Every structure is written in C-alpha cells, then in structure tokens.
Homo-oligomer: A and B are copies of this chain.
Amino acid sequence: MANSKYDVTAIGNAIVDVLAHAEDKFLNDQKLTKGAMSLIDTATANRLYGLMNAGVEASGGSAANTVAGLAGLGGKAAFIGKVAGDQLGKAFSHDIRAVGVDFDTPTLASGVPTARCLIFVTPDAQRTMQTFLGACVDLGPEDVKESKIANSEVVYLEGYLFDPPRAKEAFFKAAKIAKQAGKKVSLSLSDPFCVGRYRAEFLDLIANHIDILFANEEEIKSLYQVTDFDQALQKVRGHCEVAALTRSEKGSVVVKGDEVHVIDAEKVAKVVDTTGAGDAYAAGFLYAYTQGKGLRAAGKLGGMMAAEIISHYGARAESDLKQMAKKAFA
C-alpha cells in the first residue's frame, strides 16, 4: 500500500502515563475499578498521586501507543492529539516524534496541563488506570487536517475519544474524510466501561463507519451484551468488514465474513505489566495489514507485539521492533 504518505494516522488522547506498583488492598480502599480506565478530576488526581508509590513517567495514550509501535516496526504513521506546552507535553511530543511518528497538532496554551494517567500495576500484572484528561478536552475537528487523513491507508480511532467533549467531532470528521478518500477506518473499543458509556453510539458507528474493529473479549461481550465470546463473534462478523478480537492468554481471533483465524498467544516468560497490550496488538496487526501480509500474519504480529509489551513495565516497546517485523515476515 505504497500509494499513501501514511500507513496509519491515529487520533487519540495524548497522555503521559505515571506507572507504579500497588497492592489490591489499595485499589479496594480507594474504590478503584480494577483493570478499567476511569476518568478523574484534578482534585482526585492530586489525591491519588499523593497516595501512589514512587512511579515512572512514560508516554502513553492508547492510539498513540499503537502508532508508536507501528512506526517502530517500520510503518509510516501520524498522530493527532492535544498536549500542553509543559514538561510532560514536551516529553510526549519528543517520544512520539523520536520513533518517527509525524505529530504536529497545535499545543494547547490555556494553562490546562498535559493529560496524565495514573496506572496502578498490581502483583498479578493487571493495570488499573485513572485518567486526568487535561489538555485532551480541547481536541476538536479543527485539529483534523484533511490532507493527512486522505493520505493514510487507515485512520485509527480510540473509543476513549468519546469521553472528551469535542474529540467525537474530530473522530467523525476523520471517518468521513477517510471514507470519501477510499481509505479504511479502524476503531478500538478501548475499555469495557467505555463501551458501557457509549454502547448505542458505538453500535451505530461500527455499522456505518468502521472497517476494522479491535476489541478484547470483555469489550466485545459488553458491546453486544452477551455472556459468551462465540455469540459476540457471530454478531461482529456481519457488523464490520474485519474484527480482531484479543483474548489475553488465549491469543486472538481475526474474522472477516466467513474467514476466521484463531491465533495462539505468544509465550511470555513472565508477565510483568499488561499496560498497553491491546494497543501493541493493534500496532502489529495494522503494520502487517498495511504491508499486505494478510489477516493471519496480522494477528500473529499483533500477538508478538503484545507479548513484548507485557514482558516489561510500561506501554511502549523496549525491544528492536524492526527485528521483530523481519522475524514475523521471514
């Protein structure tokens, strides 16, 4: 797919992660929903940060993680998201550009700080995320440049964009431009609670705008309000062109009409931190997909990327991804 300037342009919340270990008791005491992403206000962010263990700061954001991974693999990517001109915003901008992602969304100068996600990693390697959206609430359709979207094979959107007020408009603007340009529109459902917040809108969106859907087992079951994965699988088959459904240690299932690929999970010596596993899967999948490698190869590389991410702390890769891509396509 060498005709477009970009393989993937992603739109998402531009977030810096603050990762720290936590005990389950802490999550219970603070009434945090384990494994989920919850939105918090400034006061709660300050209070929880005060109670948090010593942390590490690293660029995050679901769709941003995905394009960072895709660029690391060798793909051409752009990102649209809103940071402030503060130290965290500079770190986010540096990190995503350093991996080769084109990022030029105007910086917010209102004084509202860059978004932060406090990530509590429990001993079982599960992550619980508390997000202060900060500058992200200012992302709007004016930040979506037609030339960028029309020059991307795939536009990738995170479901989390339905949380900040005007990002949804940016989302639909991008989907419309992509469709008119004959490009693919891809969505990640992001989080089962995010699906709960916007189920009706997501169902409509998938039917009318989405070509490639990413979801994990909990998210796809929440979307269709079914208790069984196979029921959800049957429903999604007729709902969008391609669905890539991740199932943690059970691997993933990629479905396109009658074509179904069941892909085993990669072996991981020790699962350290599951933050960014789904984002990494989408990165591997979309890189293989935009390289024309087929759906099975896409699911395979997605699984390899997820295995890399969960074997260390943090949501961005530490390994040489170009070597991984070479190995996957050998």
Q: In the complex, what residue of chain B is closest to A20 when comparing beta carbons? A: B98
Spot the interface stretch: A195-203, A204-212, A288-296, A313-321: A313-321
**Is there a chain B Cβ closer than 8 Å to A266's Cβ?**
no
Given A87-B86, A87-B87: A57 and B54 within 8 A (CB)? no
Chain B nearest CB, measured from A220 CB (Å): 31
Please name all residues of chain B whose beta carbon is closer than 8 Å to the beta carbon of A91 when the two chains form the complex. 18, 55, 57
Chain B nearest CB, measured from A48 CB (Å): 11
**Is there a chain B Cβ closer than 8 Å to A59's Cβ?**
yes
Q: Is the CB of A58 within 8 A of B56?
A: yes
Q: Is the CB of A54 within 8 A of B87?
A: no
Q: Is the CB of B53 within 8 A of A98?
A: yes
**Count of this chain's copies in the oligomeric assembly:** 2
Given A87-B87, A87-B88, A88-B87: A54 and B318 within 8 A (CB)? no
**Is there a chain B Cβ closer than 8 Å to A99's Cβ?**
yes
Given A57-B58, A313-B318: A52 and B87 within 8 A (CB)? no
Q: Which of A21, A57, A91, A113 has the most CB of B within 10 A?
A: A57
Q: Is the CB of B52 within 8 A of A94?
A: yes
Q: Is the CB of A96 within 8 A of B54?
A: yes
Q: Is the CB of B314 within 8 A of A49?
A: no
Please name all residues of chain B whose beta carbon is closer than 8 Å to the beta carbon of A98 when the two chains form the complex. 20, 52-55
- Sample of 20 further A-B pairs with CB below 8 A, known A55-B95, A57-B58, A86-B86: A21-B318, A52-B94, A52-B98, A53-B98, A53-B99, A54-B59, A54-B68, A54-B94, A54-B98, A55-B91, A56-B56, A56-B57, A57-B91, A86-B87, A87-B87, A87-B88, A87-B113, A312-B313, A313-B313, A313-B318
9 A-B residue pairs with CB within 8 Å: A20-B98, A21-B318, A53-B98, A54-B94, A54-B95, A56-B57, A56-B58, A57-B58, A87-B87
